[in-house]
Amino acid sequence: DAKTTQPPSMDCAEGRAANLPCNHSTISGNEYVYWYRQIHSQGPQYIIHGLKNNETNEMASLIITEDRKSSTLILPHATLRDTAVYYCIVRCTPPGDSGGGADGLTFGKGTHLIIQP
Amino acid sequence: ETGVTQTPRHLVMGMTNKKSLKCEQHLGHNAMYWYKQSAKKPLELMFVYNFKEQTENNSVPSRFSPECPNSSHLFLHLHTLQPEDSALYLCASRRTGGPTNTGELFFGEGSRLTVL
């Protein structure tokens, strides 16, 4: 799986959009971008994933650049409860796991997002 | 509530004790995972089970012994641990295969282990 680079920490004001960058310049054509977050002392929580198109769900939006070498996770209206460590992960196994594989995700250090009141 | 339940949530044990961590999911998932998270370190994948068979062991010391009796339950048996084994142990599960599968991992809340 390709390596990712994220800033170690970021601040954002409550109510503003939080934009978390991730660099994955060595991503290959069949690798997906996943985002998870971990609130203090809890298990990580899935947020969103994408291959090359921008994606949006009830939690966030994922913007992937055309060359797929970087992406941005957007939390449109950050709240204090969004304070967490955010992990950007690239993995080669398609979501459907057509091969039946059960590879575990490799987590890096992530970005500690702090929402300021 | 993710559907993955871990017990106990907190455990304190001495180096000579034997204890077990339990993970349970009724989400119909076939793959289950143990992760370790030490203070200020990234999550480390320890073991992977797929349809009850161990498919990955990331050079974990033998004082950690996993057991997967069925696809819904996963245990981590602990014996003669060291203080540096104190950490948050996280269980996760997911379904593999299928055209609509997102590959999403569902994590439990974790078991906070302290070894004295």
How far apart CA A108 and CA A38 sit, in angstroms, is 12
- For residue A29, the model assigns a pLDDT of 85
Cα angle B9-B53-B38, degrees, rounded to a multiple of 5: 35
Tokens of B96: 């593999």
**Residue B41 confidence (pLDDT) above 90:** no
- For residue B2, the model assigns a pLDDT of 83
Distance from CA of B110 to the nearest CA of A (A): 6
Instruction: List CB contacts of B42: < 8 A, sequence separation 6 or more.
Output: A107, A108, A109, A110
**A102–B49 CB contact, under 8 Å:** yes
How far apart CA A98 and CA A19 sit, in angstroms, is 33
Question: How confident is the model over B37-64, as a mean pLDDT?
Answer: 92
How far apart CA A29 and CA B17 sit, in angstroms, is 49
**What is the number of other CB atoms lying within 10 angstroms of the CB of residue A29?**
8
Residues of chain A with pLDDT under 50: 98-99
Tokens of A72: 């941005």
Residue to test with chain B: of A97, A98, A106, most B Cβ within 10 A = A97
Instruction: List CB contacts of B62: < 8 A, sequence separation 6 or more.
Output: none
How far apart CA B59 and CA B21 sit, in angstroms, is 19
Residue B49 in contact with partner chain A when CB distance is under 8 A: yes
- For residue A100, the model assigns a pLDDT of 53
**Residue B52 confidence (pLDDT) above 80:** yes
**Residue B12 confidence (pLDDT) above 80:** yes
A-B contacts at Cβ under 8 angstroms: 79
* Gyration radius from chain A CA atoms: 14
